[in-house]
């Protein structure tokens, strides 16, 4: 590899600064990083993400979340608990969970009451006795969940977390609103399976990531639904929804179970576009490899949310996206479906790697759309090229976002443009090989920007470091291969 690594040094410095911030926030977490197996020390308050340094937690690994929600009505607080099985990865005197809003009741560790303090979005848990490195332990947090709490995201979506609907709820946890739903490791690189127990009033249905494993009617008429995510899921990709739903079952390529979850009165009006999912899966499998999960479905959101979300195995698609023209509907459906491969199965290591998730989802969305009545892909890339320096200035380079409002145009067409430039550079056939190799190598794992550069170089047989680095980190947009006539509009500050 080339020695042109300046941006990485910058990223490391930012990471070091972020960890210092984390240390300053809750006390002597710096001990944790340097401690051996000797004296118990606090787990780190965050994993030092460049954008959200306190998200995720250090000192342990979560093995499974078991979540209980005694749901009542769209905007009514209700009793909830989270039982977290974890393994200490250092000798722990205390540890943190990411948890925001809600009313905390009790925290136990291995059944014994623990000391719990809230500090911003951190829940600091001190067990009765230290937890030796390598031991398994169980944390249980009980709380009253508040589905009316609000987090703001400054883009097409305004509030995230619980999204109340007329008769139920859906979740929009991205980027870091899962901590308002349940205490967690709220970072995309930290994933664990989830068991959901959701109790609903009679007449409503509940759904969540993965497979329905049990449905029990209780003596009082309420119904307890149990779902198993089957595969590990990042907190930001958790979904649970309640409403007057119809489950619409069908079968995708090679027998893949498809279950759409649709508000009763929207089943017929959304059927035409939902029925295309099987074709979309086949189209993506031809480009990326086998669909990575055991099942899929579209959750039609009875909400006026401005954006859809790739919640794992069950994408949330607001109803308006399925009630308009076919080209727009398919763009949304293919975008969220692409994320099941890239973003969900291949997770990002840090939020700065988001371009790998959104850039890819937009790439295949545009590629599909061009062949199915949508706009010309090359024209959209030429337009993105013209705006690219301005986006670098406003939002940071594709792999180096400069502000917590991540979901700006640079992460979509601006990042797709990097993949387009790579395809122009190496040719369509080699680019296809890179993409299939990327998914084949990293499905079920997390991967970052350098991993992509390294793999693209290996598959293409040429060192792409010097080509991709300026595209991903530089202050100026490089020339577009094969398009010397494309021009960048000067930056207006």
Contact positions toward Zn ion, by CB under 5 A? 358, 361
CB of 341 to Zn ion, least distance (A): 12
Residue placing its CB nearer to Zn ion in the complex, 358 or 413: 358
CB of 407 to Zn ion, least distance (A): 8
CB of 183 to Zn ion, least distance (A): 26
Residue placing its CB nearer to Zn ion in the complex, 146 or 358: 358
Sheet with 122-126, strands from edge to edge, namely 41-42, 92-98, 122-126, 115-119
What is the β-pairing status of strands 103-109 and 92-98?
A: unpaired
Helix, strand, or coil (residue 263): strand
State phi, psi for 95 to the nearest 5 degrees: -150, 165
Q: What is the DSSP letter of 430?
A: H
d(CA 128, CA 116) in angstroms, rounded, equals 11
Q: What is the residue whose two structure tokens read 């295309």? A: 276
d(CA 223, CA 205) in angstroms, rounded, equals 8
Residue least distant from Zn ion (Cβ): 361
Residue placing its CB nearer to Zn ion in the complex, 361 or 406: 361
CB of 307 to Zn ion, least distance (A): 8
Inter-helix orientation angle 354-371/277-288, to 10°: 120
Q: What is the DSSP letter of 296?
A: B
CB of 201 to Zn ion, least distance (A): 33
Residue placing its CB nearer to Zn ion in the complex, 141 or 361: 361
Q: What is the residue whose two structure tokens read 């763009």? A: 331
Which positions ≥6 away from 35 have C-beta within 8 Å? 41, 90, 91
Residue placing its CB nearer to Zn ion in the complex, 361 or 418: 361
CB of 3 to Zn ion, least distance (A): 34
Residue placing its CB nearer to Zn ion in the complex, 108 or 345: 345
CB of 335 to Zn ion, least distance (A): 6
d(CA 13, CA 359) in angstroms, rounded, equals 25
Residue placing its CB nearer to Zn ion in the complex, 358 or 451: 358
């Amino acid at each position: 590899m080339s020695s042109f690594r300046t941006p990485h040094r910058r990223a490391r410095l930012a990471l070091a600064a972020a960890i210092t911030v984390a240390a300053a926030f809750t006390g002597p977490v710096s001990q944790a990083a340097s401690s051996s197996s000797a004296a118990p020390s606090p787990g780190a308050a965050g994993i030092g993400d460049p954008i959200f340094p306190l998200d995720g937690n250090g000192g342990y690994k979560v093995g499974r979340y078991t979540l209980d929600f005694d749901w009542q009505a769209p905007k009514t607080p209700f009793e909830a608990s989270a039982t977290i099985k974890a393994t200490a990865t250092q000798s722990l005197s205390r540890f943190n969970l990411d948890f925001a809003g809600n009313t905390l009741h009790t925290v136990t560790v291995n059944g014994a009451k623990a000391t719990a303090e809230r500090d911003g979005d951190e829940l600091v848990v001190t067990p009765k006795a230290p937890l030796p490195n390598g031991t398994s332990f169980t944390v249980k947090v009980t709380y009253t969940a508040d589905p009316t709490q609000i987090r703001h995201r400054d883009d097409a979506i305004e509030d995230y977390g619980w999204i109340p609907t007329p008769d139920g709820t859906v979740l929009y946890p991205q980027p870091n609103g899962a901590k308002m739903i349940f205490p967690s490791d709220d970072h995309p690189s930290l994933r664990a399976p989830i068991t959901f127990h959701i109790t609903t009033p009679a007449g409503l249905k509940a759904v969540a990531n993965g497979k329905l494993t049990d449905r029990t009617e209780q003596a009082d008429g309420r119904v307890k639904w149990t779902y198993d995510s089957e595969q590990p899921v990042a907190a930001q990709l958790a979904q649970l929804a309640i409403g007057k739903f119809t489950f619409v079952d069908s079968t995708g390529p090679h027998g893949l179970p498809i279950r759409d979850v649709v508000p009763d009165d929207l089943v017929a009006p959304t059927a035409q576009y939902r029925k295309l999912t099987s074709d979309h899966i086949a189209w993506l499998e031809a480009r990326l490899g086998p669909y990575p999960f055991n099942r899929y479905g579209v959750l039609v959101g009875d909400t006026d949310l401005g954006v859809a979300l790739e919640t794992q195995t069950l994408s949330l698609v607001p109803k308006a996206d399925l009630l308009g023209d076919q080209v727009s509907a398919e763009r949304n459906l293919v975008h969220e479906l692409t994320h099941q491969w890239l973003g969900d199965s291949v997770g990002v290591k840090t939020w700065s790697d988001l371009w790998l998730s959104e850039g890819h989802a937009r790439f295949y969305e545009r590629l599909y759309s061009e062949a199915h009545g949508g706009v010309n892909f090359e024209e959209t890339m030429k337009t993105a090229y013209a705006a690219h320096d301005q986006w670098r200035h406003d939002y940071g380079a594709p792999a180096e976002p400069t502000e917590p409002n991540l979901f700006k145009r640079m992460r979509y067409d601006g990042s797709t443009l990097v993949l387009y430039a790579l395809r122009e550079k190496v040719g369509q056939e080699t680019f296809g090989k890179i993409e299939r190799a990327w998914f084949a190598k990293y499905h079920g794992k997390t991967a970052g920007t350098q991993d992509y550069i390294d793999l693209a170089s290996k598959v293409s047989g040429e060192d792409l470091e010097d080509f991709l680095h300026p595209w991903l980190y530089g202050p100026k947009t490089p020339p577009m291969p094969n398009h010397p006539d494309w021009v960048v509009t000067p930056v207006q500050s």
